[in-house]
């Protein structure tokens, strides 16, 4: 299925779609935070805000999957960033 998308939707349009969906993901994460903290009330329930967040994560993931040229390379970046984040947290907890 991803091959069909890659063949029929130009790279430039997939990049545009990723940017749009990433923006919507950002907004959904912020809205979910508001629903959780209730410091700045939103009409969305926590459950609805969470479902919206999941929907946007799925959209971003789909676009990302259409852009992977070499998933091994992406995984290398992912693992490096994961280790860096973990290392920072470990240093903070040792203080």
Mean pLDDT of 61-71: 84
Average pLDDT in the chain: 94
What pLDDT, on a 0 to 100 scale, did the predictor assign at position 70?
64
Distance CA 50, CA 56 (A): 10
Please, how many CA atoms are within 13 Å of residue 19, restricted to the half-sphere of its CB?
6
What pLDDT, on a 0 to 100 scale, did the predictor assign at position 95?
78
Distance CA 53, CA 47 (A): 10
Lowest average pLDDT, out of 23-27, 73-77, 81-85, goes to 73-77
3-state SS record for 14-36: HHHHHHHHHHHHHHHHHHHHHHH
- What are the tens digits of pLDDT across the range 2-26? 999 999 999 999 999 999 999 999 9
- What are the tens digits of pLDDT across the range 37-56? 999 989 999 999 999 999 99
Q: Is 67 exposed, middle or buried (0-12, 13-18, 19+ CB in 10 A)?
A: middle
């Amino acid at each position: 299925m991803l091959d069909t998308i890659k063949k029929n939707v130009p790279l430039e349009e997939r990049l545009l779609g990723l940017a749009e969906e990433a923006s919507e993901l950002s907004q959904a994460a912020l809205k979910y935070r508001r629903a959780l903290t209730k410091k700045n009330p939103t009409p969305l329930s926590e459950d609805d805000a969470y479902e919206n967040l999941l929907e946007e994560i799925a959209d971003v993931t789909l676009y990302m999957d259409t852009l992977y040229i070499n998933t091994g390379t992406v995984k290398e970046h992912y693992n490096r960033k994961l280790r860096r984040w973990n290392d920072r947290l470990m240093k903070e907890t040792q203080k």
